[in-house]
Amino acid sequence: MKKPYQSLEVNITNNMKKVIHRKLSKNILGLGLIILLVFTASLSAQEGDPAKGKSLFNANCAACHQLDKKMTGPALRNVEARLADEQGLDRAWIYDWVHNSSGLIKSGDAYANKVYNEYAGAAMTAFPQLSEKDIDDILAYTAEVKKEAPTAVAAAGTGAEAGATTGGVSNELVLAALAVLFALLAVGLVLVNKTLRRFAEAQGVELPEETKRMPLWKAFVKNQFLMLVSAIFLLLAGAYFIYGYLMQVGIDQGYQPVQPIHFSHKIHAGDNGIDCKYCHSSARVSKTSGIPSVNVCMNCHKSIYEYNGETSAEYTKEFYDDQIKKLYAAAGWDDANQKYTGDSQPVKWVRIHNLPDFVYFNHSQHVSVAGVECQTCHGPVETMEVMYQHAPLTMGWCIDCHRTTNVKVEDNAYYEKIHEELSKKYGVEKLTAAQMGGLECGKCHY
Amino acid sequence: MSSNKKYWKSVEELNGNSSIVETLKQNEFVSEIPTDEFLGDKNTLESSSTTRRDFLKYVGFSTAAASLAACEGPVVKSIPYVVQPEEIIPGVANYYATTIADGFDFASVLVKTREGRPIKIENNTLAATNGGANARVNASVLGLYDSLRVQGPKKDGNAISWGDFDADTTKKLNELKAANKKIVLLTQTFASPSTDKLIASFKETYGNVQHVVYDAVSESAALDAFQAKYGKRALAGYDFSKAMTIVSVGADFLGDWQGGGFDSGYAKNKVPNHGKMSRHIQFESNMSLTGANADKRVPLTPSQQKVALAKLYSYVVGGAVGGELPAHIDEAVQKAAAQLKKAGSNGVVVTGIQDVNAQTVVLEINEFLASKAFDAKVAIKTRQGNAKEVANLVADMKACKVAAIIMAGVNPLYTLPNAADFAEGLKKTELSVTFSMKEDETASETQYIAATPHYLESWGDVEIKDGHYALMQPTIRPLFDTRQFQEALLIWTSNSVAYNDYIKEVWNANILNGASFNQALHDGQFVTTTVIIETTVEASTENTEVEKPSNAAASALAASAKGSGLELALYTKVGMGDGQQANNPWLQEFPDPITRTSWDNYLTVSKADAEALGLMNKHVANGALNGSYAKVTVNGTSLVVPVLIQPGQAKGSVGLSFGYGKTKGIKEEMQTGVNAYTLYHNFSNVQNVTVEAAAGEHEFACVQLHNTLMGRGDIVKDTTLEIFNTKDKKYWNAIPVVSLNHEETPVTSPEVDLWDEFDRSIGHHFNLSIDLNACTGCGACVIACHAENNVPVVGKTEVRRSRDMHWLRIDRYYSSEESFAGDDEKKDNISGLGSSLSEFGEMEHASENPQVAFQPVMCQHCNHAPCETVCPVAATSHGRQGQNHMAYNRCVGTRYCANNCPYKVRRFNWFLYNGNDEFDYHMNDDLGRMVLNPDVVVRSRGVMEKCSMCIQMTQKTILDAKRDGRVIKDGEFQTACSAACSSGAMTFGDINDKESKVAKLKEDNRMYHLLEHVGTKPNVMYQTKVRNTTEA
């Protein structure tokens, strides 16, 4: 539910995110983008183009710096003004620092050494490729005035939600009105009937006597044939439903447990388009897909400390930010001081896809060898706010797929000979997994 | 038709006026039912608000609730790492090269770990010269997860911290140093360059220190002889792959003789190659694994062995020796000598007689022959114990001369014959420390127990042979609060270096000669080409008392041979060794290759002696074996031991194995057998003994009760080298024929087959070839299979009921005549009822000195499998790759398949063997279950199981190849058994790959299938056993 005026911007952000994502291994740009959206109008008085500066900043600096938050490096908002006020350093110093910070440190510059020591002896990467004009642009960007951006989005979200609620109420009102109408009609009919009868009585019209007939149910009970037929029918129907019930015991399709951390696949795989196997990397080589360890999360979340995407009444920004805090607690990450405390806690996720122990399933066979998309079995994960089991994971389901899916033999020397011979034998162009032996008991049960 | 029959209900009715009959007519129960017991207490009944109806309601409700709840799946938690180690990918195994060096077994091994847990030991093919993994080494991984391990340091039985331990012991040691009192280090053989150096620096620090090396099963005589001759305390190296004539006098070199590990070299020449193979003559008293594999075996008592060896010396080298031998033995010795002389440098002699003269004689014969197999330069370092020093130590301790004793890797209170003396001496010491994994007999008597890690959690280095080094590295973080002996030495010598860094220093300085340490660590071994001059002082050579051989060793040897009455030959079993791993259920359940008996040790007695002494074995109603007890007395020490009658046991000798009868640090189930160390006087494995029958009957858990082949030579095909070389295959390996239209047709031809052949020519088709010539019966494959496939341990009583679960068994057959060929002949000549009744009866009994054959049998994976056709639920079916699949989840347990299997290889889960207190083995605790292979299902009660031909391994090989997009090379496919087989008897592979080794073996002339006439078309094949019976 987006406000119409916002949708365009959201599209832009999405597109831009994707472009940048391709360039950067770390996805850390959410905040900057939102800020850009909101501040497009506020131009700085200084020379330099803040728009250009922003993209340069995101491409080169954002891995270690943010505007308002100390990260690997210091917060950079109004850095030039601050340096000038506090240290009396001019822009030339900044050029030197950016082009060759370690050189500056070696030359014995006091402030350079101070910063170097403050950040535990980690020198800033040199950026000789940035021209002075580029640095001007970046500085122009950092000099922009901060504005509260996310509230607007949040407010928009709430407004949209309110609209929806109104719609719901009106529907119910219409229904209630209809119900009242029908009730009135029914009462009216009864009254008319009564009145007519009274008229008839008053005018002496003979109403034909209703013959007392045997009640329908009694007739039914007396008819043994009908009883037998319906008993058989009921038994069969009962058996059908009981069978259906029993056959779904242990099948947890749609199982959607509450997880200790509300991890949204929609945000990660959907909105941000992160590849499944970036986090579930062992799916490529192992039988298990692997639940990512917390250090994998921290690859990105070291710099993504807040959520700035779409929100709803249920899932507010605060809610998502809380989840990131939970992650920090698990990883033992002290966000304020940007360091690990060493006090970590493994996350006890609730396992969703539970195959019985007697089934051997290997992810790498399907993912790496066969090239099956994760979504084929796991469903539209990129749209799942809360992860659930998409497939029934029954043997019939496995086998159906094996019967219909062709073996991916291209560029695989292993398959060359066997595929050629077998396809000749079966007289087909392409072999299915079943023809390759994918239905044999021992391939999955040992 | 009314009946006037009278039905009698009891005898009492005959008695017309019996009161009982009358009472019973009135009242069904003679005595009153004690209703008062539960209805008498009126108060409680009235105060209870629960009526009978309520009770039924509750029962009904709870049943319904329970069954509803059962439909709900449990919530499963998945807990990933916080920081995942780079090298660990869940679901993918890592392999580490390390080394076992527990003082008895030394071998370079590969350890398979899953998610950081070691789960299996495999052979390290890079370090083949360091010996293959035997059954015990394969089983050693389970020792890591032993629930009875000491979990931290203890003082007087109470847990303390390592800090306190260090403070206390260092203080005490310094006090003793100040008083110049004697400190003794009593250790196992470490053969470790870094440990030697550490001990040297410990000696330097504390002054009056003596280091005594103690091997529980002593090779002291051989060490003394070698030291006297070559000036180095070591054992001569032997490479049997260079010997064509092997004469062994009492040396069980396929077992644990001089550290073991000779089997792979031996097996190489046992396979006929261009018409040639080695000839092996064995003189021995107990039937050993080596004797069972010999081409010619001569049973003789230990004292006769001495004379025989002396005579062999005189026949080969010259010089006259005294002593008398029975004529047939003397003849055999002469023939052996002639054969040795003929072989010249291709011959080799070995002996297991624990006598310096005997060992010297052997060294001299081998030098005389210039034997290629004999190598005094690359000497074996894995036994360094000194029996004299140990004996002196006990005396010193009793005389209060030892103030402190620090023990590592030894358990003298269990392994010493004079344990009581040692215990007395131990009480007189001021400080006693045991480095031990268990609270065993010794550890529980010392002041301090320093809990040590398992070798899979330890660092270490070993010099197995001169110039052949091996490294030990941890494969898991220590499970408990433990510390290595070497780390403690570092602390006591105030050295702050970590032990692994210390090893690295020592290696870089002395061993590697510039080579990379990391490479050596990766390979697990390092071989130097240049001989390094020993810089470290040999721990046990200084002020050592070494027995010197006499100048005329052979005559002295012959003179020393005086046997009177019965002689007891103590030996070690393949499964138990010196008894360190007695708490290992895999090894307890491992059937001994010779006797096929598990969960016991026993007195092996020849049939003649048994009859004379009134001892017997018999089969009881449930099909199990029972034996009498015998009282065995040596020098006043008596033991009551069960008796097992052993074909091939030399008359006048009895045998008893070490390693059993432990009482501390071991689960009750595993406290089996008797402690033979109590008879091990003077560290001599031969003792004069008196044996008398004792009361009672012992219940054995023996898995093979029929010992002979009854002339069915097609089960184990067996021929001689002469026939093999000169006659046609039809003569010695004929395919059975059946009559088709009155014509003899081979059973392999399609016309006589009941079934249509399925086309298996596409894709892989797995076959396993077992060479009966190379198979020594060592049983490493049995344990490897156990570990790989989560095979449960069922315990002694279940084994007695023939419910053992081994997927792979090694059948052992004895001939009932002199040879198996003789059996066949005898059977063929039986005619008429009388003859068949008597002679078949005779054939059930093994000969006095039988030929022996080993035959590993697992599921034969028949292409026309009888089990598959009878399964009512299609739980067992065939795959295109030749494997017979078993879907456990489909099995309903009718056991039809097992009944229809001609090979009897299917195993039924009569009980739930995991998490069941009735089967309190490793699968009953969380620690022990860590050894389970996560790729193989743990079977539940009521399902059939059997060898899967390690389908999890073949599938993994295929998947790896698919992922890499490559063709699979020969040798990549392995099963657990074929990978564990260091003698090369088992070859596994794809016969559709025509270039593969197994495809060639399938076409070999020696190839046959087990019970071929049944027409099951198995995918397991055997290679006919050929014996070199050619006398010189």
Inform me whether the pLDDT recorded for A155 exceeds 80: no
Angle between helices B832-843 and B820-828 (to 10 degrees): 160
How close does chain A come to B89, measured CA to CA in Å? 6
Which segments of chain B belong to CATH 3.40.228.10?
Answer: 235-379
CA distances B182 to A88, B433, B442, B512, B733, Å, are 76, 14, 20, 36, 69
ipTM topping 0.85: no
> What one-character-per-residue DSSP string does A202-263 give?
HHTPPPPPPP-PPPHHHHHHH-HHHHHHHHHHHHHHHHHHHHHHHHTTT--TT--PPPSS--
Q: Write out the H or E segment, with its range, that includes residue B702.
A: strand B701-702
Calculate the alpha carbon distances from B923 to A139, A158, B790, B917, B967 in Å: 67, 57, 9, 10, 39
pLDDT band of A168, cuts 50, 70, 90: low
**Cα separation of B10 and B553, whole Å?**
85
Measure CB to CB from residue A346 to each of B79, B888, B951 and give the nearest one: B79
Nearest chain B residue to A291 by CA: give it: B80
Distance of CA B876 to the CA centre of its chain: 31
- For residue A181, what are the CA distances in angstroms to A173, A177, A190? 12, 6, 14
Which residues in A lie closer than 8 A to residue B761 (C-beta atoms)? Answer: 421
Contact A446 B76 (CB under 8 A): no
In angstroms, the separation between the Cα of residue B87 and the nearest Cα of chain A is 12
CB contact under 8 A, B963 and A351: no
Helix (H) or strand (E) holding A349: strand A349-350
- DSSP structural state of residue B508: I
- The single-letter code of the amino acid at B659 is G
Residue B194 — φ and ψ, nearest 5°? -70, -40
DSSP assignment string, B456-469:
GG--EEEEEETTEE
Say what the pLDDT of residue A202 is.
Answer: 86
Buried b / exposed e along B964-999 (16+ C-beta atoms within 10 A): ebeebeeeebbbbbbbbbbbbbbbbbbbbbeebebb
Closest residue in B to A328 (Cα–Cα): B82
Q: Which of A249, A332, A415 sits opposite B71 (nearest CB)?
A: A249
Q: Which of B71, B72, B84 to mutate to test the interface with A (most CBs of A within 10 A)?
A: B84
Question: Pairing mode, if any, of strands B809-814 and B766-771?
Answer: unpaired
- The token pair that represents A15 in the structure block: 């597109």
| Closest Cα in chain A to B788 | A446
pTM: 0.83
Residue of chain B whose alpha carbon sits nearest to that of A355: B76
| Gap from B883 CA to chain A (nearest CA, Å) | 8
pLDDT of A131 over the 90 cut? no
Q: How far B968 CA lies from chain A's nearest CA (Å)?
A: 7
In chain B (1032 residues long), the average pLDDT of successive 10-residue segments reads 72 76 74 74 74 88 83 83 89 93 92 93 85 91 94 92 93 91 93 93 91 92 90 90 92 90 90 91 94 93 91 87 86 92 92 90 91 90 90 92 92 92 92 93 92 94 91 94 94 92 92 89 84 44 54 75 83 92 94 94 94 92 90 91 94 93 91 93 90 93 91 90 91 90 89 85 92 93 94 93 93 92 89 84 90 95 93 93 92 94 95 92 93 93 94 94 92 93 93 93 93 92 92 72
Q: Among A162-171, A407-416, B621-630, B726-735, which is the least confidently predicted range?
A: A162-171
Of A290, A330, A440, the CB nearest to B879: A440
User: Which sign does the torsion angle of CA B139, B141, B143, B146 carry?
Assistant: negative
- What confidence score (pLDDT) does residue B810 get? 95
Alpha-carbon distance values, B18 to A161, B11, B15, B32, B56 (Å): 97, 10, 6, 19, 44
Within 8 A of A422 by CB-CB distance, chain B residues are 762-763
Q: Which residues pair with B619 in a beta bridge?
A: B625
Q: Do B82 and A369 touch (CB under 8 A)?
A: no
- B911's tokens: 């009980």
Q: Residue A59's pLDDT is what?
A: 80
Q: Which of residues 931-960 of B touch A (CB under 8 A)?
A: 935-938, 948, 951-952, 955, 958-959
Q: How far is B1026 from chain A (nearest CA, A)?
A: 37
The pLDDT, as a whole number, for residue B210 is: 92
Strand order in the sheet with B106-114: B93-101, B106-114, B117-123
Please give the helix or strand (H or E) that residue B158 lies within, else none. Answer: strand B158-159
Would you report the helix, strand and coil content of chain B in percent, each value rounded to 5?
A: 35, 20, 45
Quickly state the pLDDT bin for A10 (edges 50, 70, 90): very low
Contact at 8 Å (CB) between B628 and B616? yes
CATH 2.40.40.20, chain B: domain bounds: 565-702
Q: In the CATH hierarchy, which fold is given to the domain comprising B235-379? A: Dimethylsulfoxide Reductase; domain 2 (3.40.228)
Q: Is B789's Cβ below 8 Å from some Cβ in A?
A: no
- CA–CA separation, B198 vs B487, rounded Å? 9
Using a pLDDT cut of 70, give the percent of chain A over it.
84
Among the partner-chain residues A354, A362, A445, the one whose CB lies closest to the CB of B73 is A354
Interface contact A446-B881, CB threshold 8 A = no
Q: Which residue of B has its CA nearest to A253?
A: B73
Chain A, residues 174-203, CB within 8 A of chain B, namely: none
What span, in angstroms and rounded, lies between the C-alpha atoms of B28 and B7?
17
* Alpha-carbon gap, residue B58 to A376, rounded angstroms: 47
B961 has a chain A CB within 8 A of its CB: yes
Nearest-neighbour CA in chain B from A219: distance (Å): 37
Tell me the per-residue pLDDT of A376-396, one tens digit each, with 9 for 90 and over.
999 999 999 999 999 999 999
Residues in chain A closer than 8 A to B82 (CB atoms): 293-295, 330-332, 344-346
Residue A157 pLDDT level (bands cut at 50, 70, 90): very low
| Sequence-separated (6 or more) residues with CB below 8 Å from residue B985 | B267, B770, B771, B772, B773, B774, B775, B776, B856
Long-range (24+ apart) CB contacts under 8 A made by A392-396 are: A392/A251, A392/A253, A393/A251, A393/A252, A393/A253, A393/A353, A393/A354, A393/A355, A394/A251, A395/A359
pLDDT of A208 strictly over 90: no
Selection from B286, B268, B288, B284 nearest residue B276 by Cα: B268
Give the Cα separation of B943 and A142 in Å (integer). 72
CB B309 within 8 A of CB B209: no
Q: Tell me the C-alpha distance between B80 and B1017, whole Å.
A: 48
**B116 in A contact zone (CB under 8 Å):** no
Whether B959 and A365 lie within 8 Å, measured CB to CB: yes
CATH classification code of B718-1027? 3.30.70.20
Tokens of B406: 């620090």
CB B258 within 8 A of CB B464: no
Length in residues, chain B: 1032
Query: Minimal Cα distance from A437: which residue of B?
Result: B880
Q: Does B90 touch chain A (CB under 8 A)?
A: yes
* Preferred mutation among B72, B75, B81, B859 to probe A, highest tally of A CBs within 10 A: B81
Backbone dihedral angles phi then psi of residue B272, each to the nearest 5 degrees: -60, 125
- Chain A residues touching B759 at Cβ < 8 A: 425
Q: State whether residue A249 sits within 8 Å of chain B by CB.
A: yes
Report d(CA B329, CA B597) in Å as an integer.
30
Q: Is B482:B214 a contact under the CB 8 Å cutoff?
A: no
Q: Which chain A residues in 263-302 lie under 8 Å from chain B, judged by CB atoms? A: 282, 285-288, 290-296
CB B872 within 8 A of CB B892: yes
- Contact assignment for B966 to A414 by CB distance below 8 Å: yes
- Do the Cβ atoms of A442 and B951 come within 8 Å? yes
Tokens of B514: 């510039």
Q: Is B85 on the interface with A (CB under 8 A)?
A: no
Q: Do B762 and A425 touch (CB under 8 A)?
A: yes
Which residue in the set B76, B83, B958 is minimally distant from A351, CB to CB?
B76
In this structure, are residues B698 and B626 in contact, taking their beta carbons and an 8 Å threshold? yes
Q: Most A CBs within 10 Å: which of B933, B946, B959, B969, as the mutation test of the A interface?
A: B959
> Of chain A residues 323-382, which have a CB less than 8 A from chain B?
330-332, 344-351, 354, 356-358, 360, 362, 364-365, 368-369
Helix (H, G, I), strand (E, B) or coil at B403: coil
CB B139 within 8 A of CB B585: no
What is the pLDDT of chain A when averaged over all its residues?
81
Query: Encoding tokens for residue B123?
Result: 């052979």
- Asked if the C-beta of B881 comes within 8 angstroms of chain A's C-beta atoms, the answer is yes
> Whole-angstrom Cα distance, residue B458 to residue B499?
10
Q: Which residue of B has its CA nearest to A252?
A: B73
CATH topology of domain B565-702: Barwin-like endoglucanases (2.40.40)
Q: Chain centroid to CA B384: how far?
A: 23
Q: Which candidate, B663, B687, B683, B684, places its Cα nearest to that of B673?
A: B663
